[in-house]
Structure 1
């Protein structure tokens, strides 16, 4: 569903150039539900904006389904956003029109795309648990209910890809669990590919695969040891406690990002010695070079 190779995004102003993504590689299968994690400034939101058609890549390859987002025209980009991708913001005000009812909010994207379907709009609101609230104005809904309306809006154009940027960042734990249950149901019943950007490892632990981004590149992956088994919200960053196995990610050239904690523990700065013993690749701190003694 998603293929990114050597993806680069550079933001330029008159006197400043910021490289947000510097050769990022990632693959996401159709029908997968996965999470992307990373510190602030790591590039995860930039990636989501590119996948959502909200930003243009600078270089590399980025494909979503049949769409080549590096070469897509402006008219094609409008069609892509209307037919292929749905987007959920952390700030649900970006999804919602305050003076409309929940149902009217879900119907609005259908009207804009010329695919009005009131029956489906009502069905979406039932799926997110708002059957009895669909005619309420937004000010009559709680923050969690508004976020669920936002999920229904994102699904109104029947997308094959759903992108969620910190979707539970502004709600309590109970509502967060409810939203994740909705995602899981939509993923299984509708076959929607779901990519969630989050800094919450407890939330990330509820999906089968987690990709960590550092300095604009994919660094490590966490894959659930028993896919399909939902785990309780463990408040732990360690992959073992989340029931995930940690892997470093290789690109096609064989490059990898070694976790900074490992390098620090070994005292490795800019160089390392590496050898292959027939079974393993061993990386060590470089040994001091033997200097010849000066003759007197």
Structure 2
């Protein structure tokens, strides 16, 4: 469904140039539900805006379904945003038109396409548990209800891909669980591909695959273990199989992502534990590569600059 390779995004002003994405690689399968995590400024929101057709990439490759996002005309971009992708903002005010009812909000994207399908709009609202709220307006809804309306709106034109930017960021944990349960059910029942951007690791624990972005690059990936594999039953990470991650209850195996020229990002906590900085020694035993500090490095692990 999504294939990005060497994706670059540069923001320029008169005085400054910021490289938000520095050659990012990402593949997402059709019908997959996955999470992208990263600190503020890592590039995750920039990636989501590019995939949503809200921003143009500067270089590289970005393909969603049949669309090449680097080569689309303005008319094709409009068509892409109308039919291929649904977008859910963290700020509920960007998802809803306040003077319309819940039902009218869900029907609005359909009207832009030409004709509203009221039966399908009601079906979507029932799917998110809001069939009793079809006549309500924005001020009459809780934050969680507004976000559920936003999910229904994102699906109103039957897109194969839904992008969600911090969908649980403005609600309490119980409501966040309800929203994630809705995502899982819609992913299963409709087969829609769902990509969630978040900094909330509890959200990441609910999906099979998590990709971390750091400094504009995909750095680490976690894939949920099979139910019968060691470390998949929620025991402490210290008792789980090697490579499991305590942030996800020991249920996911951690991988470092290699780009097409063999570069990878080693997690900062690994480098700190090894006291490696600036340069490192690599050794290959025929099966594994081992990395460590140079033998002549000072105790701090920092390169000698004398």
Is 1:66 the counterpart of 2:94 in the alignment? no
* Corresponding residue for residue 250 of structure 1: 258
Contact 2:205 2:249 in 1 (8 A): no
CA distance in 2, matches of 1:216, 1:43: 5
Q: Which stretch of the first structure deviates more once superposed, 139-148 or 159-168?
A: 139-148
Contact 2:227 2:233 in 1 (8 A): no
* Corresponding residue for residue 207 of structure 2: 207
CA distance in 2, matches of 1:173, 1:265: 33
Is 1:268 the counterpart of 2:268 in the alignment? no
Q: Which stretch of the first structure deviates more once superposed, 99-108 or 251-260?
A: 251-260
Runs (5+) with no aligned partner, structure 1 = 290-296
CA distance in 2, matches of 1:226, 1:7: 31
| TM-score computed with the length of structure 2 as normaliser | 0.90
* Corresponding residue for residue 17 of structure 2: 17
* Corresponding residue for residue 187 of structure 2: 187
Superposed, 1:17-96 pairs within 5 Å as 17-96=17-96
Deviation at 1:204, TM superposition (A): 0.7
SS state at 1:226 partner: coil
| TM-score computed with the length of structure 1 as normaliser | 0.93
Contact 1:85 1:163 in 2 (8 A): yes
Q: Which stretch of the first structure deviates more once superposed, 170-179 or 47-56?
A: 170-179
CA distance in 2, matches of 1:12, 1:29: 32
CA distance in 1, matches of 2:34, 2:88: 15
CA distance in 1, matches of 2:227, 2:117: 35
Deviation at 1:115, TM superposition (A): 4.0
SS state at 2:50 partner: helix
Q: Identify the match of residue 281 of structure 1 among 285, 289, 296.
A: 289
SS state at 2:185 partner: helix
Contact 2:102 2:149 in 1 (8 A): yes
Contact 1:39 1:199 in 2 (8 A): yes
Contact 1:239 1:245 in 2 (8 A): no
Contact 2:202 2:248 in 1 (8 A): no
SS state at 1:132 partner: helix
Contact 1:90 1:165 in 2 (8 A): yes
* Corresponding residue for residue 8 of structure 2: 8
How many residue pairs get aligned? The number is 286
* Corresponding residue for residue 241 of structure 1: 249
CA RMSD of aligned residues (A): 1.9
